[in-house]
Each structure stands twice: as C-alpha cells, then as structure tokens.
Amino acid sequence: MLIVLLLLVWAARGRLASLKEGPMTVSVGPAGSDVVGTDNAALQKAVDRAAAAGGGIVLIKAGTYTLSNSLRLASHITLRGEGPDKTILKKAPGVRSKLALDSDYGELQATVEDAQGFGPGMGVTIVDSVSRSGWTPSVRTIVRVEGQTLYFDKFLHMDYSVEKAGQVFNTFPLIAGYEVEDVRIEELTVDGDRASSQVLDGCQAGGIYFFHSRRMTIRNCVARDYPGDGISTQFVEDPVVENCEAYRNAALGIHLGTGALRGVVRYNRAHDNGEDGLYLCWRVQHARYEQNQSWNNGQDGISLGHKDTDNFFSKNVVTGNGRAGVFFRDETESNAASRNTFAENTIKDNGRPGATGYDIRVEGATRDLKFLSNTIGGVRKGDKSSPSVGLYLGPKTDYIVCDGNVFEHTLYKAVVNESQGAHNQLQGLGTGD
C-alpha cells in the first residue's frame, strides 16, 4: 500500500511540474536551436516534435528559410517567428514542365518533358488549360522521380492532358493547416517568390492556407509576392486574421473562402494585390471586418458574393482600387450577398483611369443591406481622372437602407439608383459637383 501511495504522489508531482512548465517550446533556426536548419524539412521536424507532445510552441528564429514544400501544421500548435522583418519563409525558385503524357484521374504519377529541377519531397501542382482553378488542380508531393516520371503521395483527382497544355509546377501553400484546430501563426513573413512561380488560386493554396479547420489565428504576419492569394481559408470556423499585411500577391490579399463562419478580420493592410484586397468567397457568414485598410488593388477593395450574408464591416478605409471600393457580385436572390451592414467606413477614390469608378457597387438581386454613417467620395488628380460614383444600386436590388452617410462633392455622382425595388430607404442623397 505504501508503494502505491508513493507512486501516486510521484505522478501528481509530475503533473504539477508539467503544468508549471507550460506548453512545450521547440526552437528551430540556423544555429543554436533544438532543430538546426533553414528549410521546410527542419521546420517540419520542429512542428512534428511539438505535435508529438500534444502541442506547444514552435519558435522560428530570425533568418530566411527556403521552402520546397508546405510546412504542415498540427492541432494545438503556435508557430511563432521573431518578427515579420526577421523571420522570413520564402518559396524555393520556380520549376515547371509540360506534360509528356496525359495524366489521368486516379494515377499516382505524371510524365513530364523535362524532370530537371524536380525532386522527392517537393510540393507541386498539376493542371491543364481546362482544370486550372478552384478545386480542379491537384496539389501533391513528389515521393520519387524515375527518369521523366514524377510519383506522388496521393492520386490525381482530375484528368490532365497534353492536348490541353497540361503541366506540373512547384506552387504550393507555404504554411498549411489541413483539418487542424486551435492553431496560431505569429510574427513572421511568407514570401512567394512570385516572379519565378506559376499562379495558383486560393481555393487550394495561399501563402498561408487553412482547410477544414477550426479556431485558427493569424496575427502580425506578412504575406507577400505569392503567386496566388496571400492568406486563404476554406471550410473553416472562427478564423482570426489580425494586424497582418498582404501585398503584391498575384490574386487576392486576404481571402476568407468557402463556408468560412464567424471570422474576425481586423487591423489588416491589403494593398497592391493583382485582384481584390479583402475577398469573401462562397458562404462567408457572420464575420466582422473592422479597421482594415484596402488600397491600390487591381480590382476591388472588398468583394462579396455567393451567400456571403450577415457580415458587419466597420471603420475600414478602402481607397484607390481599380474597379470598386466595395463590390457586391451579381447573384440570384437565393444566392446573393444579402443582410450585410457597412458602418463608419471611409470609401474613396476607387476606379481606374478611363472608366467609371465606384466606391460602392451593388449588383444582382442583393437585399437587406445597410450603409450607415460612411464617408464616400473621390479625390482624383490630373488629366486622367475618371468619373466617380459614390453608390450604385443595380436593377434587382431592394431593401437597401442608406442613412447618415457623407457623400463628398468631388464625386461625379453621389448615387446612381437603378433599383426597381419598392422598399429602399435612401436618406439624404444628392449629386456631387
């Protein structure tokens, strides 16, 4: 009996000591770390070690790390750098080849014209001109190379043909979480080496990417120069993107995607991206976008569409975007981005030279929108300035509430109302000079 009691006391002391020590920390870096190295293999080893202990902190020390494949996260992991200007995860230079043979659904291989530069452990994407976006590309890892044939970790989920310009290239998410929960990414930069890499959209990739995950936080991070989206999430619950910067990415800056629920996107800066700064894809619902800045993006500052409902946008600054500051995409009534509120935002100077610009453009059968106490206007300089519309309502819109907004006189027109709906409440609207 005495021995049993001593064992119980020893076990209890061990548990208390463990609680006092806090979560496990594994450091990785060029020297003097638990894991020494500056590539994705070293980073993955550190993550796997923390995951094996049930979770913990992976501290990535200052330095530049070259990634030839995704760093895959596990649940209950905090991935922490020493600051976005100090800890930089950079994609390896681009490699690509055309297919030499058709690669079919269910195959575990692709035969290419030139296998030089490809190698085991590399992340790659297989596409053709028909299957090139959304869920049609196959993002895979090479497990071995024999001659001109690349062998993958998982079978291909589409057909890719030589006739349709099939190819393989090494674009992949730099940091990825698949079916994880309670994960944090902090204080680092991901750099996509856009100049040498092939573009892949955010449905399966992004500089930072989450898929089928819950309770993930991305904070104080930079996502830049990625050949696709800077930050992308798909089928997630309770994502937080806070105080991040997404810029010069080929496609979208910050992309809450398919089925994202209860997101919080705040204090971020999305600018100079090829398409939209803040993009809501399909079924982004019950999210809060607060105090973000979105400027100088190729298309829209904020874009909403298919079933993106019940979201709240407050105190964002949206300026100088190519088409519109806020754009509601053309959807049927059952699929429209309805029941959204914009309050106390500043939306100015949107639209490219040579075409009418829109601070807010509402298309489709979009309903139940509230625009409250926003500042809307345009300040264009030079001979190439474009006519700017503050608020455009398309023919199928209805139940739009507009109250307390300030429309600046620099606008060509404050409001263009083509709505045929009978239930709009548009208060205090006029035409600017």
Half-sphere exposure at residue 89, Cβ-oriented, CA atoms within 13 angstroms: 37
Q: Give the CATH H-level superfamily of domain 175-426.
A: Single-stranded right-handed beta-helix, Pectin lyase-like (2.160.20.10)
- Over the stretch 146-178, which tens digit does the pLDDT of each residue have? 999 999 999 999 999 999 999 999 999 999 999
The answer, yes or no, to whether residue 211 has pLDDT greater than 80, is yes
Half-sphere exposure at residue 152, Cβ-oriented, CA atoms within 13 angstroms: 23
Q: What is the pLDDT of residue 17?
A: 43
Which residue is listed with tokens 């809450």? Answer: 256
Beta bridge partners of 188: none
CA distance 369 to 341: 6
The answer, yes or no, to whether residue 244 has pLDDT greater than 50, is yes
Confidence band of 383 (pLDDT split at 50, 70, 90): very low
CA distance 433 to 411: 6
Looking at the whole model, is its pTM more than 0.85? Answer: yes
Report percent pLDDT > 70 for the chain. 92
CA distance 374 to 377: 10
Q: What is the pLDDT of residue 344?
A: 98
